[in-house]
């Protein structure tokens, strides 16, 4: 079990993004990740989920975290 796999199961870790060979915390979830988790930006703001509108990448682990929150 790696840290990356644990992040998918534990939404308290928050959004992550690869940076080189490491994985770091992101400022928030991208709009694409919210879309894949069937959430809108308004839903995320209402639920207190951080959103990073500048980031365009989609990480499957982050989508799994969002789905487990809902």
Give the pLDDT of residue 53: 94
Write out pLDDT tens, residues 39-63: 999 999 999 999 999 999 999 989 9
Query: Any idea which residue has 């644990």 for tokens?
Result: 6
User: What does the alpha-carbon distance between residue 39 and residue 41 come to, in Å, rounded to a whole number?
Assistant: 7
Tell whether the model's pLDDT for residue 24 goes beyond 50: yes
What is the enclosing helix (H) or strand (E) of 49?
none
User: What does the alpha-carbon distance between residue 51 and residue 42 come to, in Å, rounded to a whole number?
Assistant: 10
């Amino acid at each position: 079990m790696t840290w990356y796999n644990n992040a998918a199961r534990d939404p308290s870790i928050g959004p992550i993004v690869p940076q080189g060979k490491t994985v770091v915390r992101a400022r928030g979830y991208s709009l694409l990740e919210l879309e894949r988790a069937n959430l809108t930006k308004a839903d995320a703001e209402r639920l207190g989920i951080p959103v990073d509108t500048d980031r365009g990448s989609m990480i499957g682990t982050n989508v799994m975290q969002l789905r487990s929150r809902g």
